[in-house]
Amino acid sequence: MVIDTLPKALIHIAGFQPGRVSMRQKELGIWHDISWAEYLDKVRDTALGLYALGVRRQDHVAIIGENQPEWLYSALGAMSAGATFVGVYTTNPVKECEYVVGHSGAVVYICEDEEQLDKALVFRESTPALRKMIVWDMEGLRDFRDPMVMSFADLLVLGRSTGEDDPGLFDHLVAEGRGEDIAGIIYTSGTTGPPKGAMLAHEGYLWVGKQANAVSQGTRDDETISFLPLNHVYEQIYDLMIHLTIGHIINFTENTDTVMMDMRDVSPTLFHAVPRIWEKYYSGIVLKMADATWFKRTAYTIALGIGSRYNEEKLAGRLPTLALRLAYHLAYFAVFWKLKERLGFDRVKLGFSGAAPISHNILKYFQSIGIPIREGYGMTETTGITHMSDEYNFKLGTVGKALPETEVRIAEDGEILVRHKGIFKGYYRDEETTREALRDGWMHTGDVGEIDEEGFLKITDRKKDLIITAGGKNIAPQYIENLLKFSPYINDAVVIGDKRKFISAIIVIDEENVVKYAQDKKVQFTTFASLTRTEAVIQLIQEEVSKVNAQLARVENIRKFRILDKKLYTEDGEVTPTMKVKRKFINEHYRDLIESMYREQ
């Protein structure tokens, strides 16, 4: 069998290691193993159940739910039937769900629970292609009756009976699949305008999985933890592409609030996250150390100093002195190992950061305590990755080298152009935007960057986000924002200054750390909003901004800032589900706040 689709890859792996664990799911505090044979059985029943409901080749099946095995059963089941899966973010309000389901023409809506079903019940009249709604968890719906709604358990029963009636049907449906078929449509959350549906083919998924693993060198004995949104291409790299390439174990967290606890349970060997998660881990360590005994604080401070010096030597390509090597090993086993164990990082060989730029200071910090993080680069339209750093081929400030068989060039205006076998097939029902993004097979990324003499790619910023001040100076806001977010007291920052006389910033404080600071200083406050307005907090953030300004050129200095009296939420349209700020929305929504900084003399 030629393995040119994801279902064929699943059949292949389940065939040679049926009894091995493919994934684990945590329910009510207990981890349950799922073998590869069980995985394939569930996908087979899902596929045949969907087929019995009338799902055919090139149909679209929408999936909305938190990360759990049923998400993968649904996606692989749809693909096995010849259909295309369409992921929907659980945080999407009704209108956005309606847009994705309606625009994609989904015929089936598979959802997690009553909350997600309610959304479809609201918009089903305006999405005429939708024929069936299937629910994984029927809690609260036992007495609910609707001819369009059925449980996932009933779908599996239907699929099983369909398979008994026609034993060769599943194999026939899978055999009909081709590498060029569209496996999934991923609607980019987009920082501007309505989401666009990027069409990704089976051959692209498989190719990227193979090339990414050639760099990361994973094996079937590796374990990952799944908690980033599964309809985002970043999570799919590990849960679909690499998983169906090497057959490692996926651990599904109980829910998004238990990730750190589940990390300690599982101790994965590979850990991937977005910068916000790495920042939270860092600020959590800072907070913990602030509360530690004098002895522990002193030991940690000394060890961190040794780790930083050791790391600087390694990054510079120099061999640390024997004395420094011995000191580092002592620091590692006396301090860092215990810290890693407490975090659940004791088995992590490599950490990965993607989906947004990460502060160099965060990378240096984790490298110093023995948790190497490597950045990658890519986008939905490149099936997730074009560049990766591995354990040894790494240069701070870059996103690594291009994957094997990947072409990269820099346009005259600095835009990064890429071309490989995983480039998407276009935006669904949007030929004009497809033509703008894809020219002569080259994906125009919209990012500005440069390639150094060794082939490492450095990202400057989004092309459309670059600030040109009134004085004509080009400034990359993401660099300044990442410096700000290294502060344990700053959760997010948006730098402003395009066509302005100076740079300013909107800042969102880190609630946990700032609350502790305020309590230690006996600052009076009642709510998050009142906390942001206290003189002590304003002064604290001013000190953090001043530290950042000391690292910047004068023209890049933040002259004024405002502390937002609320957090940024996906539901409010302020950030994407991977916590990237929607810059255009922020600039429009907080226009008066921004203008107040420039009106002041």
Residue 191: per-residue pLDDT: 52
Name which of 286, 189, 285, 270 is nearest 231 in CA terms: 189
Output the six-digit token pair for 155: 């779908």
For 132, the enclosing helix (H) or strand (E) is strand 132-135
- With tokens 């890859």, the residue in question is 9
What is 466-599's CATH topology?
A: GMP Synthetase; Chain A, domain 3 (3.30.300)
Please give the angle made by the CA atoms of 185, 242 and 91, to the nearest 5 degrees: 45
Extended strands (E) in 314-455: 350-353, 373-377, 387-388, 401-402, 407-410, 415-419, 438-439, 442-451
Q: What is the pLDDT of residues 580-599, one digit of tens each?
A: 888 888 989 999 999 999 98
Q: What are phi and psi of 409, to 5 degrees?
A: -145, 160
Dmax (CA) of the chain: 80
Question: pLDDT of 94-151, one tens digit each?
Answer: 999 999 999 999 999 999 999 999 999 999 999 999 999 999 999 999 889 999 999 9
The top-scoring range by mean pLDDT among 274-278, 314-318, 356-360 is 274-278
Please state, in angstroms and rounded to a whole number, the distance separating the CA atoms of residues 112 and 89: 11
pLDDT band at 467; cut points 50, 70, 90: confident
Confidence of residue 397 (pLDDT cuts 50, 70, 90): confident
Share of the chain above pLDDT 70, in %: 99
Structure tokens belonging to residue 255: 């829910």
- Over range 17-21, report the average pLDDT: 97
- Give the pLDDT score at 486: 93
Own/partner contacts of 188-194, CB < 8 Å, gap of 24 or more, are 188/380, 189/89, 189/576, 189/577, 189/578, 190/576, 191/576, 191/580, 191/581, 191/582, 191/583, 191/584, 191/585, 192/582, 192/584, 194/99
Strand partners for 467: 475
pLDDT digits over 330-352, tens only? 999 999 999 999 999 999 999 99
CA pair distance 134, 474, nearest whole angstrom:
51
Residue among 402, 394, 359 at smallest CA distance from 377: 402
Structure confidence at residue 469 (pLDDT): 79
- When pLDDT is averaged across residues 414-423 and rounded to a whole number, the result is 96
3-state secondary structure of 8: helix
For residue 247, what pLDDT band results from cuts at 50, 70 and 90? very high
Q: Which amino acid is at 545?
A: V
Are 350 and 383 in contact by the 8 Å Cβ rule? The answer is no
Could you give the CA distance from residue 18 to residue 12 in angstroms, rounded to a whole number? 10
Q: What is the mean pLDDT of residues 370-382?
A: 94
Q: Which amino acid is at 15?
A: G
Query: What is the DSSP secondary structure assignment for residue 333, as one 8-state letter?
Result: I
Cα separation, 386 vs 228, in Å, equals 20
Ranges of each domain in the chain: 6-201, 401-463, 466-599
Distance, in Å, from the CA atom of 248 to the CA atom of 22, rounded to the nearest integer, reads: 7
Task: Count Cα atoms within 13 angstroms, Cβ side, for 101.
Answer: 34
The pLDDT of residue 596 is 92
For the ranges 305-309, 313-317, 409-413, the lowest mean pLDDT is seen at 313-317
| Per-residue model confidence (pLDDT) at position 142 | 85
Any residues with CB less than 8 A from the CB of 280 and at least 6 apart, and which?
Answer: none
Phi, psi (5° rounding) for residue 325?
-65, -45
For residues 343 and 281, the answer to whether their CB atoms sit within 8 Å is yes
In this predicted model, what pLDDT tens digit does every residue of 429-453 receive, in sequence order?
Answer: 999 999 999 998 899 999 999 999 9
pLDDT at 293: 93
Report whether pLDDT(193) > 80.
no
Q: Assess whether pLDDT exceeds 90 at residue 473.
A: no
* CA dihedral (226, 231, 234, 240) positive or negative: positive
Q: What is the arithmetic mean of pLDDT over 454-469?
A: 88
- Tokens 């305006």 belong to 126
> Does the structure show a pLDDT above 60 at 476?
yes
Neighbours of 143 (CB within 10 A): 5
Q: In this predicted structure, what is the pLDDT of residue 579?
A: 82
The pLDDT of residue 601: 52
Mean pLDDT confidence for 35-50: 99
CATH code of the region 401-463 = 2.30.38.10
Mean confidence (pLDDT) of the chain:
94
Any idea what DSSP says for residue 241?
A: I
Q: How far apart are CA 51 and CA 68, in angstroms?
A: 22
Q: How far apart are CA 331 and CA 344, in angstroms?
A: 18
Q: What is the pLDDT of residue 355?
A: 85
Q: Which secondary-structure segment (H or E) carries 288?
A: helix 275-291
Q: Domain 6-201: state its class.
A: alpha beta
Confidence band of 316 (pLDDT split at 50, 70, 90): confident
pLDDT at 68 over 90: yes
pLDDT band at residue 89 using 50, 70 and 90 as cut-offs: very high
Q: What are the structure tokens assigned to 70, written together?
A: 């049923």
Whether residue 190 has pLDDT greater than 70:
no
- Residue 192 CB neighbour total at 10 angstroms: 9
Q: Is 440 left (phi over 0), alpha (psi -120 to 50) or beta?
A: left
CA 452 to chain centre: 27
β-sheet bridge partners, residue 350: 270
